[in-house]
Amino acid sequence: MVSEPDNDGGIKSAGTSFGIIETIYQNQPISLTELAAEVDIANSTAYEHISTLLDSGYIVKRADGYYLSLKFLDRGTKAKEYYQELLDVSEPALEQLVDETDEAVNLVVEEHGQAVYIDRRTGERGVPTNSWVGKRKPLHTLSAGKAILSQLPEERVDEILDARGLSVSTERAITTREELYDELEEIRQNGVSFNDRESHSQIRAVGAPIVVDDRVYGAVSVAGPAMRLTGEYFRQEIADLLQGAVNEIELKLTYH
């Protein structure tokens, strides 16, 4: 039986399957009944989709419920190959930043209008946060995300905002396009961006874009506790170290 398209031109059953995958990701372990309720489908429909996902190896069933399988790890590793050149040339600069700051250092790219972490390294003083390799977050809430946005054509920024909006992670997050556009212009002038407790109430970060021949490769950020990242250390010292690291990455990309 051929699946019928939904009103947006996609395949409805495929959308349901991906909805199930996302729901398991957010709630694992999860039971069949809980899963059906979250996705808002009948138990029988959920069972049919789960059976297909089990047969294809994308989920596993354990005693306490359903989980995503390690097949996603294999696919994710393959997906990173597109960014291998960027990862390779960035590694020494990221390690140097960790040595110099002892904070968390992130390499971020844009995909589907979201910020995606493709590398993350943490110094001894670095604190665990809700970010990891593969994690997606709104671009406008991150220093690295705003650094990327500042280098994209205005039409692309508008497309992202039309699709993603301006979700709020904390009360300090940007909530209007006018405010965002003003900050993006400031980033273009200064070469660095700041996240002042906009993605997490206790985290500050500094970011800088990676751009070679008008191609926006991504951005690097240094993040740490808001109580430690203050004053000139936050606004100037980290920014200077970060720009030096990004310049090194851009030179290596140019002549790699």
Lowest average pLDDT, out of 123-132, 199-208, 216-225, goes to: 123-132
- pLDDT interval class at 13 (50, 70, 90): confident
- In tens, the pLDDT along 24-35 reads 999 999 999 999
- pLDDT interval class at 196 (50, 70, 90): very high
pLDDT at residue 126 in the model: 77
Q: Give the DSSP H/E element, type plus range, for residue 241.
A: helix 238-255
1 pLDDT above the threshold of 90:
no
9 pLDDT above the threshold of 60:
no
Answer for the pair 20, 42: CB distance below 8 angstroms, yes or no: no
| Whole-number average pLDDT of the chain | 93
CA distances from 17 to 69, 71, 120, 245 (A): 15, 16, 30, 42
Structure tokens at 88: 């390779």
- pLDDT interval class at 187 (50, 70, 90): very high
- In tens, the pLDDT along 146-184 reads 999 999 999 999 999 999 999 988 999 999 999 999 999
| Cα Rg of the chain (Å, integer) | 20
Estimate the share of the chain in helix, then strand, then coil, as percent rounded to the nearest 5.
Answer: 50, 20, 25
- pLDDT interval class at 123 (50, 70, 90): confident
pLDDT at residue 11 in the model: 66
Q: Which of 74, 166, 170, 152 is nearest to 109 (CA)?
A: 152
| Higher pLDDT pick, 256 / 94 | 94
Amino acid at 12: K
128 pLDDT above the threshold of 90:
no
pLDDT at residue 250 in the model: 98
Q: Where are the domains of the chain?
A: 12-69, 77-255
What does the pLDDT average to over 129-140? 90
Residues in contact with 212: Cβ distance below 8 Å, sequence separation at least 6, in sequence order:
250, 253, 254
pLDDT at residue 12 in the model: 79
Q: Which of 111, 104, 112, 100 is nearest to 199 (CA)?
A: 104
> By percentage, how much of the chain surpasses pLDDT 90?
89
Q: Give the DSSP H/E element, type plus range, for residue 50.
A: helix 43-55
What does the pLDDT average to over 140-151? 98
pLDDT at residue 4 in the model: 40
- In tens, the pLDDT along 52-91 reads 999 999 999 999 999 999 999 999 999 999 999 999 999 9
CATH number attached to the domain at 77-255: 3.30.450.40
Residues in contact with 157: Cβ distance below 8 Å, sequence separation at least 6, in sequence order:
149, 184
Cα 59 to Cα 70: distance, rounded to the nearest angstrom: 8
Q: Does domain 12-69 have CATH number 1.10.645.10?
A: no
